[in-house]
């Protein structure tokens, strides 16, 4: 589930999405960076192609870890990478076939490796490696080769690669499997999505009926039905292929389990060892009750210095909001940064009590929230190369309500964004100099605070009314965008609360104003940079930023809360009344929580479809033209550090060394050689 501190000096941390030196982060946690360069001998940016920058991140404090902690991080990293093939296959049924052909060409092609076609091929290959497949990691559209089909066929033939005609047909036919995830409400969501969670002949109605037979509307502890399976038609009936050892993805999961067993042997605490044991059991059995037991045990482990996020976690890649994408993040706690921000965690009940929600939708007792700043050590699957900067888990509402949740901010990832080079977009999209100056002074802090409030307070807030089923059942394909928007609204509402100054996490409400500026600027203008002209907004987080921003703009028109200015043919938005805007955020938060708490599908659909989907083509064209003045690519991701065990003559690990590779394609080929366990088709 994917922004700064005051103690401004206390946390010399990072930045987030939007505008520039003070950039902002997309609340899926994926960074949309336009950061300022920082003086540093470390080479932060290693590649740029298409719409992507590839960066590196450091692992601070590694040498201060004990040998046992280093071993644990190493084993967990190896476990995460061992499941890498799963994410590729989940994204699209032909992805592994394509990837292995690209790997073979890049290794063994003996022909000319220069010229326009070769450079276009390299860009295409890098795009696919970055996205874990042939569809864009964020926009979901299929990549278009910048070379002709005969050239690819020549590369394949001359390198000994294997790429069936049917697969080549898909690559060069724009109409075939064009969208990884389609959220177009006018079409069958399953049949129009290329993601490999459903058989090619299975439709949305059949999936809905299949799971409705399993689910009990008033179950107080509903299982996450469908999170670890592919739905297929077999012998004429709809059934599941479960992702488990002995089932689908057997070979990769066996390897994951092998490394998790080693990690369990050096666990940081008894509770962490219990959690790892349950995760291993889940992979072996596919049992959903065991998945819940693992999440409960994981939440209760609050002392381990080295921690993990691992499993079939987020459901954004599923148009039906059920299937979990494989993900792994290995992390080391930053105790100083964590201590500085713990005040938000400690005041979670105050935030709940003072939120604008209806009384019956507020939690009377907010329990078990754990918030930590961490440094990533290694990421894989859905978390790499494009990574979140904040995470709140588990996703099950009943576990959150009963046992709590863990929230993390990935400090070293944010730091890498902050220090990597870029060109400011403030001058391109900000309304006036006052807004630019405020952003330069406060946007890093406001972004980190937004993320903290979004993850720690937002996702943990509110409760369902008795007897209302989970949002995957009630809100269906709109559940993800409504939940992310709800968490955003919690953060936005409290960022202009004097309590934040009283708590000492920001110096004045100017910080909140900076976040309001950036959020509205991004939701109404800047994020359109990510879309191709003529496209609707389909990605869940982009939708949520759009419907939040457009709703408050629309509802504030009569009072000129936000004013649209057009100068020299360019559109700008000027917030005239921050207090009234805060009130509008509160009104919308109250309504979205009501939609979630009551399972009001019709109202949720209307909100998203009316405000979050369609794009004004003239405004979109204008934004794309203005964005040409920004040289920094809109997306960024990472080459992962390499953990290298040092052994004695007996083969026992005596240390684990961290290396920082600087070759993106080189790492992709290395991973293909060492962490490729699944067959081409699964």
Q: Supply φ then ψ for residue 333, to 5 degrees.
A: -70, 135
Rounded to an integer, the average pLDDT of 649-678 is 98
- On the question of pLDDT at 6 being above 60, the answer is no
Mean pLDDT of the chain: 92
At residue 420 the predicted structure's pLDDT band, cuts being 50, 70 and 90, is confident
- On the question of pLDDT at 29 being above 50, the answer is no
- On the question of pLDDT at 429 being above 80, the answer is yes
Cβ 535 vs Cβ 601: under 8 Å:
no
- On the question of pLDDT at 416 being above 80, the answer is yes
- On the question of pLDDT at 578 being above 50, the answer is yes
Q: What is the pLDDT of residues 244-271, one digit of tens each?
A: 999 999 999 999 999 999 999 999 999 9
Q: What is the pLDDT of residues 67-119, one digit of tens each?
A: 999 999 999 999 999 999 999 999 999 999 999 999 999 999 999 999 999 99
For residue 394, is the peptide bond before it cis, meaning its omega torsion is within 30 degrees of 0?
A: yes
- On the question of pLDDT at 22 being above 70, the answer is no
Q: What is the pLDDT of residues 516-563, one digit of tens each?
A: 999 999 999 999 999 989 999 988 999 999 999 999 999 999 999 999
At residue 3 the predicted structure's pLDDT band, cuts being 50, 70 and 90, is very low
At residue 444 the predicted structure's pLDDT band, cuts being 50, 70 and 90, is confident
With CA atoms as reference, report the closest residue to 5 among 334, 481, 397, 304: 334
Residues 139, 141, 146, 148, Cα dihedral to 10°: 170
pLDDT of 501: 96
| Cα-Cα-Cα-Cα dihedral sign, residues 547, 553, 558, 561 | positive
Cβ 438 vs Cβ 401: under 8 Å:
no
For residue 102, is the peptide bond before it cis, meaning its omega torsion is within 30 degrees of 0?
A: no
Cβ 442 vs Cβ 514: under 8 Å:
yes
At residue 448 the predicted structure's pLDDT band, cuts being 50, 70 and 90, is confident
**Whole-angstrom Cα distance, residue 499 to residue 99?**
51
Q: What is the DSSP string of 417-477?
A: HHHS-----HHHH-SSHHHHHHHHHHHHHHHHHHHHIIIIIITT---PPTTPPPHHHHTGG
Mapped onto helix, strand or coil, the DSSP state of residue 372 is strand
pLDDT of 353: 97
Lowest-confidence region among 297-301, 403-407, 507-511, 638-642: 403-407
Residues 389, 490, 139, 539, Cα dihedral to 10°: 140
- On the question of pLDDT at 217 being above 70, the answer is yes
Q: How far apart are the first and last CA of the chain?
A: 27
The pTM (predicted TM-score) of the whole model is 0.86
Q: What is the pLDDT of residues 616-636, one digit of tens each?
A: 999 999 999 999 998 788 899
At residue 398 the predicted structure's pLDDT band, cuts being 50, 70 and 90, is very high
**Whole-angstrom Cα distance, residue 338 to residue 342?**
6
pLDDT of 418: 81
Number of Cβ atoms within 10 Å of the Cβ of 130: 24
The residues spanned by each domain of the chain are 7-60+249-627, 95-133+143-172
pLDDT of 422: 52
Number of Cβ atoms within 10 Å of the Cβ of 296: 19
**Whole-angstrom Cα distance, residue 642 to residue 660?**
6
Mapped onto helix, strand or coil, the DSSP state of residue 155 is helix
Query: Distance of CA 17 to CAs 32, 135, 404, 446, Å?
Result: 5, 23, 28, 11
- On the question of pLDDT at 36 being above 70, the answer is no
Lowest-confidence region among 6-10, 345-349, 351-355: 6-10
Residues 491, 497, 498, 504, Cα dihedral to 10°: 0
pLDDT of 8: 25
Q: What is the pLDDT of residues 265-295, one digit of tens each?
A: 999 999 999 999 999 999 999 999 999 999 9
pLDDT of 649: 95
Give me the half-sphere count of Cα atoms (radius 13 Å) on the Cβ side of residue 93: 15
Q: Is CATH 2.60.40.10 correct for 7-60+249-627?
A: no
């Amino acid at each position: 589930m994917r922004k700064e501190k005051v103690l401004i000096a206390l946390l010399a941390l990072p930045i987030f999405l939007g505008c520039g030196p003070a950039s902002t982060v997309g609340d899926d946690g994926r960074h949309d960076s336009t950061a300022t360069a920082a003086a540093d001998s470390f080479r932060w940016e290693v590649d740029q192609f298409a719409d992507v920058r590839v960066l590196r991140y450091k692992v601070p404090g590694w040498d201060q870890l004990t040998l046992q902690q280093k071993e644990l991080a190493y084993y967990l990293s190896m476990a995460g990478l061992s499941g890498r093939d799963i994410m590729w296959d989940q994204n699209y049924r032909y992805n592994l076939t394509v990837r292995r052909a690209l790997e073979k060409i890049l290794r063994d092609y003996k022909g000319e490796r220069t010229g326009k076609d070769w450079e276009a091929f390299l860009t295409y290959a890098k795009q696919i490696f970055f996205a874990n497949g042939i569809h864009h990691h964020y926009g979901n559209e299929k990549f278009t080769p910048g070379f002709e089909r005969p050239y690819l066929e020549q590369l394949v033939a001359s390198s000994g690669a294997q790429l069936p005609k049917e697969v080549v047909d898909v690559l060069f036919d724009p109409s075939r499997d064009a969208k990884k995830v389609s959220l177009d409400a006018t079409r069958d969501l399953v049949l129009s999505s290329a993601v490999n969670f459903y058989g090619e002949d299975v439709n949305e109605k059949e999936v809905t009926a299949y799971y409705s037979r399993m689910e009990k509307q008033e179950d107080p502890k509903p299982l996450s039905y469908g999170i670890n399976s592919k739905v297929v038609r077999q012998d004429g009936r709809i059934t599941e292929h479960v992702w488990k050892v002995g089932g689908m993805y057997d070979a990769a999961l066996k390897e994951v389990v092998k490394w998790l067993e080693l990690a369990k042997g050096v666990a940081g605490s008894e509770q962490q060892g219990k959690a790892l044991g349950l995760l291993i059991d889940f992979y072996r059995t596919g049992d959903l009750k065991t998945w819940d037991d693992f999440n409960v045990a994981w939440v209760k482990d609050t002392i381990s210095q080295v921690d993990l996020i691992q499993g079939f976690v987020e459901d954004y890649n599923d148009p039906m909001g059920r299937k979990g994408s494989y993900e792994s993040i290995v992390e080391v706690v930053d105790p100083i940064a964590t201590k500085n921000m713990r005040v938000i965690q400690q005041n979670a009940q105050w935030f709940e009590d003072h939120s604008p929600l209806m009384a019956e939708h507020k939690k009377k007792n907010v329990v078990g929230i754990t918030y930590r700043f961490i440094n990533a050590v290694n990421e894989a699957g859905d978390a790499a190369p494009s990574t979140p900067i904040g995470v709140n888990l588990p996703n099950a509402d009943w576990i959150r309500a009963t046992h709590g949740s863990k929230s993390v901010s990935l400090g070293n990832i944010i730091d890498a964004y902050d220090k990597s080079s870029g060109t400011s977009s403030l001058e391109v999209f900000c309304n006036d100099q006052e807004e630019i100056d405020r952003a330069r002074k406060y946007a890093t802090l406001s972004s980190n605070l937004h993320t903290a409030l979004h993850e720690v307070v937002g996702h943990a807030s509110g409760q369902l009314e008795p007897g209302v089923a989970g949002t995957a059942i009630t809100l269906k394909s709109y559940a993800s965008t409504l939940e992310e928007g709800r968490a955003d609204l919690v953060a936005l509402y409290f960022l202009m609360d004097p309590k934040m100054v009283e708590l000492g996490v920001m110096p004045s409400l100017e910080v909140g104003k900076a976040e309001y500026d950036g959020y509205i600027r991004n939701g109404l203008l800047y994020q359109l940079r990510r879309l191709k002209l003529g496209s609707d907004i389909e990605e869940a987080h982009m939708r949520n930023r759009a419907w939040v921003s457009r709703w408050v703009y629309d509802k504030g028109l009569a009072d000129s809360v936000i004013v649209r200015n057009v100068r020299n043919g360019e559109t700008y938005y000027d917030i005239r009344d921050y207090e009234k805007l805060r009130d509008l955020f509160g009104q919308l938060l109250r309504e979205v929580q009501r939609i979630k708490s009551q399972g009001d599908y019709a109202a949720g659909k209307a909100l998203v479809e009316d405000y979050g989907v369609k794009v004004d083509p003239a405004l979109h064209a204008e934004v794309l033209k203005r964005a040409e003045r920004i040289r920094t690519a809109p997306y960024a991701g990472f080459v992962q550090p390499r953990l290298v065990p040092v052994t004695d003559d007996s083969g026992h690990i005596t240390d684990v060394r961290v290396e920082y590779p600087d070759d993106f394609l080189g790492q992709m080929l290395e991973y293909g050689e060492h962490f490729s366990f699944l067959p081409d088709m699964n």
